Amino acid sequence: MNNYSIPHAEENSKNPERQVYTVTEITRSIKFSLETEFPLVWIEGEISNLRIPSSGHMYLTIKDEKSQIKVVMFRSGKSQLKFEPKDGDQVIVKGKITVYEPRGEYQIVIDYMEPKGIGALQLAFQQLKEKLSKEGLFDEELKKGLPLLPQKIGIITSPTGAAIRDILNIIDRRFPNVHILIAPVKVQGEGAAQEIAAAVKDLNKIKGVDAVIVGRGGGSIEDLWAFNEEVVARAIFESEVSVISAVGHEIDFTISDFVADLRAPTPSAAAELVVRDKNNLLENIVALNKRLLRNIRGILSESKIQLENLVSRKVLQDPLTPIHEKQQRLDEVTLRMERAIKNFLQTQKEKTRANKKHLFLLNPLNKIKQNKVLLREVEKKINSQMNFTLNMSRNTLNAAMKRLDSVSPLSVLKRGYAVCRTYPEGKVLKDSRKVSIGEFVKVQLSKGKLLCNIKGRENEKQTKV
């Protein structure tokens, strides 16, 4: 058998025409060449064979009409995705080409993915909007109205942005004595959505808050993205206090706008919606007061004219007469009402007493008490009957025992009688002729037994001794 070994580097140098590599050497060489030649690539294709194991990493294949390549996206990169990829999606990915040495397969390790033809954020927005709409978070019948005159308003926004200044200026101008609570939060960047959701929940815990404004100024879709997060949408939906969403400009729409009780096109508009203009309210009150006074004057003037017409036609002989009649009529009606109320109250009292008595009888506790009393009585009767039965049985038993004892052979023996039996058979002897002279017999006494030898019989004419 011939032994063959792969030559090492020294041997390869002696035989340059035949350079032999190990699998690991050639694989690493290819990996180095690929990573050097393609440090970063952008690839477009269709997703297939997508799978996400418990590790959280994502494995898939990117393919076109003629070729395919395996793709890996580790958990850290996947957590930054704004949409949920699925098989069949056309995407663009960014990463580096490398070789997975254990299997000798080349693959792309990506750290970015976006859907082709539509931005990742826009796709994520559409996916979440469709999901929450199916769950009913946008239903109009679930939305709460705004209070007429809120006394305490919560504002969730950045404490340094222009939005908070605009809101405070407008509220102070329209209704200066409103109590304002500011919940300062980040409105963009990592952790902003969690802060906004927590602020909504915190303001719901404060007693007396009538409405909450959630918003910020304008910006790109990336800047406004915190208001498109699911955690913010669910916090707004679960709020017991009315929430006004005021994010960006009038053309900007976020998930918060759809789930909130009211959408304001801008933070300034939100301030105008949540509080009314105090001066306008005062003007309306003054106008209503004037209209009321005019109506009262008109009614009085018309009544005065009617009264003068009646007096001129001598219809009113004595102005106090109808008043006295009305007073008397009022007294009669009052008396009847008092009697009716008294009778009604008396009837209700009787019904209440009857219902109370009925309820008392139906009360399970009373039933239990009554049943306990009955149970004790039944228990006493059973015990008495048992004692009587036991005594009767005991007396019957004693009598039977006495009768049995009176006919017992042992009792006969105790009176001096004896039982004679053949020996050794043990048969009872009733006739002296059944035994011969000289035989033995066993005599049973009340206490003990005797073994006797027959010497003779008394019923014979001559007794042999």
pLDDT at position 154, please?
92
Topology of the domain comprising 9-117: OB fold (Dihydrolipoamide Acetyltransferase, E2P) (2.40.50)
Residues 35, 40, 43, 49, CA torsion sign:
positive
Cα torsion through 40, 60, 102, 78, rounded to 10 = 60
H-type alpha helices, 313-363: 320-362
Judge contact between 155 and 164, C-beta under 8 A: yes
Antiparallel, parallel or unpaired: β 179-184 and 152-157: parallel
pLDDT at position 245, please?
92
3-state class of 97 per DSSP?
strand
pLDDT at position 462, please?
45
pLDDT at position 9, please?
46
* Residue 298 backbone dihedrals phi, psi, to 5 degrees: -65, -40
Judge contact between 112 and 94, C-beta under 8 A: yes
Judge contact between 271 and 166, C-beta under 8 A: yes
Burial group, residue 327, by CB count within 10 angstroms (0-12, 13-18, 19+): exposed
Domain boundaries, the chain: 9-117, 124-276, 414-453
Structure tokens of 149?
Answer: 């005159």
How distant, in Å, are the alpha carbons of 89, 298, 366, 378 from that of 304?
86, 10, 71, 88
Are 9-117 and 124-276 the same fold in CATH? no
Q: How many CB atoms are located within 10 Å of the residue 114 CB?
A: 19
Structure tokens of 17?
Answer: 């025409």
Rounded to whole angstroms, how far apart are CA atoms 261 and 210?
13
pLDDT at position 5, please?
39
Rounded to whole angstroms, how far apart are CA atoms 307 and 299?
12
Q: How many CB atoms are located within 10 Å of the residue 265 CB?
A: 17
Q: How many CB atoms are located within 10 Å of the residue 261 CB?
A: 20
Beta bridge partners of 428: 421
Q: Supply angle C-alpha 156, 160, 223, rounded to 5.
A: 70
Beta bridge partners of 179: 152
Rounded to whole angstroms, how far apart are CA atoms 448 and 266?
126
How far the first Cα of the chain sits from its last, in Å, is: 129
CATH 3.30.70.2190 fits 124-276, yes or no: no
The residue written with tokens 């005019």 in the block is 294
Structure tokens of 125?
Answer: 């927005």
pTM here? 0.44
User: Kind and range of the H or E element at 113?
Assistant: strand 105-115
* Residue 339 backbone dihedrals phi, psi, to 5 degrees: -65, -45
Judge contact between 211 and 241, C-beta under 8 A: yes
Provide block-wise average pLDDT over 10 residues at a time, the chain (465 residues).
42 62 85 82 88 90 88 87 81 87 87 74 80 89 86 90 88 85 90 93 92 87 86 92 88 87 89 78 80 88 81 61 76 87 88 81 76 88 90 88 75 76 86 85 86 79 43
Tell me: cis bond preceding 424? Omega within 30 of 0 counts: yes
pLDDT at position 155, please?
92
How distant, in Å, are the alpha carbons of 137, 217, 432 from that of 459?
127, 147, 8
pLDDT at position 356, please?
80
Residue-wise DSSP of 129-165: HHHHHHHTTT-GGGPPPPPSS-SEEEEEE-TTSHHHH
* Residue 420 backbone dihedrals phi, psi, to 5 degrees: -105, 135
Sheet holding 211-216, edge to edge: 179-184, 152-157, 211-216, 242-247, 262-263
Structure tokens of 272?
Answer: 């105008």
Burial group, residue 465, by CB count within 10 angstroms (0-12, 13-18, 19+): exposed
